[in-house]
């Protein structure tokens, strides 16, 4: 067992699989890494075992696999700080996390599992499901498509809401956004946000500073018009003054109309100034929006 293998095993055994009180098994860790990578099947338990025993390592060019490993270990409570993440990387002679990678890995608080958040969507679809379940998924997507059409034609207009801030999408106003590592593609009928990070497979666009009385305007309301396969969207709220940031919705994978109470998610009352960060995961993947705003309940 080499130093990298010992580190992987150490942080895996410090993890906690939801509802069991037990650490992730090698098979569970491999499966979750596969989901992060958008693979049809997870990595095998044998692959993780080989890492831990020093029989194999992750090629330095497979940076996506390394980042996915760190992200899973963090999400399941085994790895809690950037210094621990860099310690694991350094044990295998890999370079430390850059700022973008660190932000992506630590998008959830330590020990908080995806299934424990009421505001998080369910797990990404399992492509190995039976034909019956696949048919059910297609029916649901078709229904969502009909709902999308209804919004376009005004059949089920959700009605006016008082908004304190709204993204200008038609025509698109690029000055409202800092395209850090994701780029807006201005097209009709809706602009799309595309991952554009040459160093990794996830990118971020950050809104201008938004100031709102969250007692009056607590709701982040957005509509995803289209989304590429194997794409995940994470919405993050950041308050620059206090360096507070938190994901309010993680790994969204389907189109639809969404409302998130960011005041409740952040534990905020009164007036706050913050930015809205939209993360897109998946190399060169994109999603289109026809509404993004902060509004009254």
pTM: 0.52
User: What DSSP assignment string belongs to 106-143?
Assistant: TSS-TT--GGG-TTS--PPP-TTS-HHHHHHHHHHHHH
Give the residue with greater pLDDT, 296 vs 19.
Answer: 296
Q: Which pLDDT belongs to residue 205?
A: 95
Cβ-Cβ contacts under 8 Å for 19 (sequence gap 6 or more): none
> Would you say residue 81 has pLDDT above 70?
yes
Alpha carbon distance 113, 95 (integer Å): 27
> Would you say residue 156 has pLDDT above 50?
no
- Mean per-residue pLDDT, 185-214: 91
Distances (CA, A) of 222 to 77, 261, 263: 30, 12, 16
> Would you say residue 238 has pLDDT above 80?
yes
Alpha carbon distance 126, 124 (integer Å): 6
Q: Which pLDDT belongs to residue 42?
A: 76
- Mean per-residue pLDDT, 177-183: 95
Mean of all residue pLDDT scores within the chain: 82
> Would you say residue 236 has pLDDT above 50?
yes
What structural domains and CATH numbers belong to the chain? 3-113 (1.10.260), 131-295 (2.60.120.260)
Return the percentage of the chain with pLDDT > 70, whole number: 80
Give the residue with greater pLDDT, 124 vs 202.
Answer: 202
> Would you say residue 220 has pLDDT above 70?
yes
> Would you say residue 281 has pLDDT above 60?
yes
Q: Which pLDDT belongs to residue 141?
A: 52
Q: Which pLDDT belongs to residue 152?
A: 38
What digits encode the pLDDT tens for the residues 16-70? 877 677 899 998 898 888 888 877 777 888 899 999 998 888 887 788 899 999 9
């Amino acid at each position: 067992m080499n130093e990298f293998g010992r580190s992987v095993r150490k942080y895996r055994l410090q993890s906690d699989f939801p509802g069991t009180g037990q650490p992730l098994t090698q098979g569970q860790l491999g499966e979750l890494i596969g989901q992060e990578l958008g693979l049809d099947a997870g990595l095998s338990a044998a692959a993780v075992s080989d890492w831990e025993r020093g029989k194999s390592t992750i090629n330095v060019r497979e940076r996506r696999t390394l980042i996915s490993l760190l992200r899973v270990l963090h999400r399941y409570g085994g790895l809690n700080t950037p210094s621990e993440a860099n310690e694991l990387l350094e044990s295998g002679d890999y370079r430390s996390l850059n700022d973008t990678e660190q932000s992506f890995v630590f998008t959830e608080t330590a020990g908080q599992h995806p299934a424990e958040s009421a505001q998080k969507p369910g797990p990404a679809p399992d492509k190995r499901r039976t034909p019956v379940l696949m048919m059910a998924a297609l029916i649901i997507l078709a229904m969502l498509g009909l709902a999308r059409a209804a919004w376009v034609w005004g059949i089920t207009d959700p009605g006016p809401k008082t908004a304190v801030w709204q993204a200008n999408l038609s025509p698109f106003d690029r000055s409202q956004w800092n395209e850090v590592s994701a780029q807006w593609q201005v097209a009709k009928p809706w602009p799309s946000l595309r991952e554009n990070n040459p160093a990794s497979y996830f990118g971020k666009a950050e809104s201008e500073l938004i100031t709102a009385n969250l007692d009056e305007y607590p709701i982040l309301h957005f509509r995803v018009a289209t989304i590429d396969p194997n794409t995940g969207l994470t919405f993050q709220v950041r308050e620059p003054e206090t360096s507070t940031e938190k994901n309010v919705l993680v790994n969204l994978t389907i189109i639809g109309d969404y409302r998130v109470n960011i005041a409740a998610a952040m534990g905020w009352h009164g007036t706050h100034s913050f930015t809205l960060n939209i993360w897109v995961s998946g190399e060169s993947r994109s999603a289109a929006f026809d509404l993004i705003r902060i509004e009254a309940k």
